[in-house]
Structure 1
Amino acid sequence: MQTWIILCLYISSTAIEICTGIASPLQPFTTYDHSIQLEANIAELWWTVNNAAQEITFELHMKTIGWIALGISPAGGMKGADIAVGWVDSSGKAHIQDRFAFDKQKPVMDNTTQDWFLLKGQEQNGWTAIQFKRYFDSCDPMDVPIKLGTNILIFAYGLDDIDPCQAKVDITYHDDRRGSRILPLRSYADQPADAMLAGLDFVDFRFDNHAVPSADTTYYCKVFKSPSRFLTKRHAIAHEVLIDSRNTNLLHHLDLFECSSKDVLDDANLPDGVCDDILTGMRMCSSNVATSWAIGADLTTVYPKEAGYAVTGVNNNKYFMIKIHYDNPRLTSNLRDSSGIRFYLGNELRQYDLSYLVFGTLSSPASLAIPPNTEQFIVDSYCPPEATRNFPASGINVVSALPHTHLQGISVWTKLIRNNTAVQYLFNAEAFDFNHQFANRLSTPIKIYPGDAFATRCIYSTRNKDDMTLGGKRTIDEMCSHTFSYYPMVESLTACMTAIDQTAWQTIMKTSLPIDNIKLEQWLRNLTWTPKSVAQWQEFYNEAQRFIMYDRGSYMDFNVLPTIPKYEDLQVEPCNRKEIQHSNDQLCHESNDSVACQNTLFLFAFIFFVFKIIFL
Structure 2
Amino acid sequence: MVKLCFILQCIVSSVVIENSRSISSPLAPFTTYKHSIELQKDVADLWWTVDDNEREIIFELHINTTGWIALGISPAGGMNGADIGVGWVDQIGSVYFQDRYASANGRPMFDNTTIDWFVVQGREVSGWTAIQFKRLLDTCDNMDVPIKSGTNNLIFAYGLVDPIPSGPNGEISYHENRRGSRTLPLRSYADPPSEDTFSGLDYFEFRLNNYVIPSTDTTYHCKIYKASSNYSMKRHAIGHKTIVDSANRDLVHHLLMYECDPTTQFDDNNLPDGLCNTISQQITPCGSNIATGWAVGGDYMVPFPKEAGYPVGGDFPIKYYMVQMHYDNPNLFSSMKPLF
For the criterion TM > 0.5, the same-fold answer is yes
How has the CA–CA distance of structure 1 residues 177 and 311 changed in structure 2, closer, same or farther, with 3 Å as cutoff?
same
1:85-110 deviations in Å (ceiling 9; x for gaps): 7999x9x9x99987456985883775
Match of 1:33 in 2: 35
Give the match for residue 310 of structure 1.
Answer: 311
- Distance of 2:196 and 2:217 partners within structure 1: 40
C-alpha distance in structure 2 between counterparts of 1:66 and 1:326, whole Å: 31
Q: Does 1:158 align with 2:162?
A: yes
CA distance in 2, matches of 1:219, 1:125: 44
Q: CA deviation at 1:337?
A: 6.7
2:182 maps to 1:183: yes
> SS of the residue aligned with 2:205?
strand
Q: Which residue of 2 aligns with 1:272?
A: 272
Distance 1:284 1:32, change over 3 A: same
Aligned-partner SS, 2:255: strand
Change (3 A) 1:125 1:210: closer
Q: In structure 1, how many angstroms separate the alpha carbons of the residues matched to 2:108 and 2:212?
A: 48
Q: Do the aligned partners of residues 184 and 312 (structure 1) sit closer, same or farther apart at CA in structure 2, a change above 3 Å counting?
A: same
Cα distance change on mapping 1:315 and 1:270 into 2, 3 Å = farther
Amino acid at match of 1:158: D
Q: How many residues align?
A: 305
Alignment of 1:46-85 (within 5 A): 46-49=47-50, 55-61=56-62, 70-72=71-73, 76=79, 81=83, 83=85
Alpha-carbon offset, residue 237 of structure 1: 2.0
1:194, CA displacement in angstroms? Answer: 3.5
Out of 170, 173, 193, the residue aligned to residue 172 of structure 1 is 170
Q: Alpha-carbon deviations, 1:60-116, whole Å to 9, x = none?
A: 346899986545566627x9755487999x9x9x99987456985883775x5x644
Task: Specify which structure has the bigger relative contact order, considering alpha-carbon pairs within 8 angstroms and separated by 6 or more residues.
Answer: 2
SS at match of 1:195: helix
Q: Deviations over 1:191-220 (max 9, x none)?
A: 653323322211122347677777776544
1:419-498 alignment to 2 at 5 Å? none
Alignment partners' CA distance in 2, 1:96 and 1:214: 42
Contact kept, 8 Å, 1:83 with 1:107, in 2: the verdict is no
Conservation of the 8 A alpha-carbon contact between 1:232 and 1:316? no
Q: Compute the TM-score of the two structures, normalised by the length of structure 2.
A: 0.63
The 3-state SS of whatever aligns with 2:37 is strand
- How far apart, in 2, do the equivalents of 1:84 and 1:213 lie? 37
Asked if the contact 1:106–1:171 (Cα under 8 Å) also holds between the matched residues in 2, the reply is: no
Q: Is the 8 A contact 2:254 2:327 kept in 1?
A: yes
Report how far residue 159 of structure 1 moved. Answer: 7.6
- Aligned in 2, Cα 1:245/1:44: closer, same or farther, shift over 3 Å? closer
Distance 1:196-1:50 versus aligned 2 partners, 3 A rule: farther
Partner-residue secondary structure (3-state), 2:170:
coil
Q: State the alpha-carbon separation in 2 of the partners of residues 193 and 135 from structure 1.
A: 30
Offset of residue 309 of structure 1: 2.0
Q: What SS does the corresponding residue of 2:138 show, helix, strand or coil?
A: coil
Letter matched to residue 233 of structure 1: K
> Aligned partner of 1:202: which letter?
Y
Structure 2 vs 1, CA of residues 335 and 174 (structure 1 numbering), >3 Å: closer, same or farther? Answer: closer
2:240 corresponding residue in structure 1: 239
How far apart in 2 are the matches of 1:130 and 1:68?
A: 9
| Secondary structure, counterpart of 2:309 in structure 1 | strand
Amino acid paired to 1:182: S
Contact 2:116–2:139 under 8 Å retained in 1? yes
Counterpart secondary structure, 1:152:
strand
Counterparts in 2 of 1:314 and 1:50: CA distance versus 1, 3 Å:
farther
Change (3 A) 1:277 1:206: same
By percentage of residues, which structure has more helix? 1
Which deviations, in whole Å up to 9, do the C-alpha atoms of 1:104-144 show, x marking residues without a partner? 5883775x5x64466x5365757775544323322133533
What's the CA shift for 1:55? 4.0
8 Å Cα contact 1:84-1:99 kept in structure 2: yes
**Cα distance, 1:67–1:334 mapped onto 2, change above 3 Å:** closer
Aligned partners of 1:220, 1:65: CA distance in 2, in Å? Answer: 40
Distance in structure 2 (CA, Å) of the matches to 1:173 and 1:100: 11
Aligned-residue sequence identity (percent) comes to: 37
Cα 1:83–1:37 shift into 2, 3 Å: closer
Structure 1 range deviating more: 272-281 or 63-72: 63-72
The match for 1:121 is: 121
Structure 2 letter corresponding to 1:138: T
1:280 Cα deviation from its structure 2 partner: 3.4
Q: Amino acid of the residue matched to residue 181 of structure 1?
A: G
Asked if structure 2 preserves the Cα contact closer than 8 Å seen for 1:149 and 1:186, the reply is yes
Give the counterpart letter for 1:107 in structure 2: F
Superposition TM-score, scaled by structure 1 size: 0.39
2:25 paired residue among 22, 25, 41: 22
1:107 alignment partner in structure 2: 110
- SS where residue 229 of structure 2 aligns? coil
Gap change, CA 1:161 and 1:247, over 3 Å in 2? closer
Output the amino acid matched with 1:232.
M
- The separation in 1 between residues aligned to 2:212 and 2:66, in whole angstroms, is 52
Asked if 2 retains the 8 angstrom alpha-carbon contact of 1:158 and 1:177, the reply is no
How much does 1:228 deviate? Answer: 1.8
| Alpha carbons 2:69, 2:157 under 8 Å: kept | no
What SS does the aligned partner of 1:184 have? strand
Provide the C-alpha distance between the structure 1 equivalents of 2:47 and 2:242, rounded to a whole number of angstroms. Answer: 25
Structure 2 unmatched runs, 5+: 1-20
Q: How many Å apart are 1:289 and its aligned residue?
A: 0.3
Contact 1:50–1:56 (CA<8 Å) still a contact in 2?
yes
The structure having more radius of gyration, on CA atoms, is: 1
The two structures, once aligned, show a CA RMSD in angstroms of 5.0
Distance in structure 2 (CA, Å) of the matches to 1:250 and 1:154: 18
**C-alpha displacement of 1:30:** 0.2
* Gap regions ≥5 residues in structure 1: 1-17, 163-168, 339-616
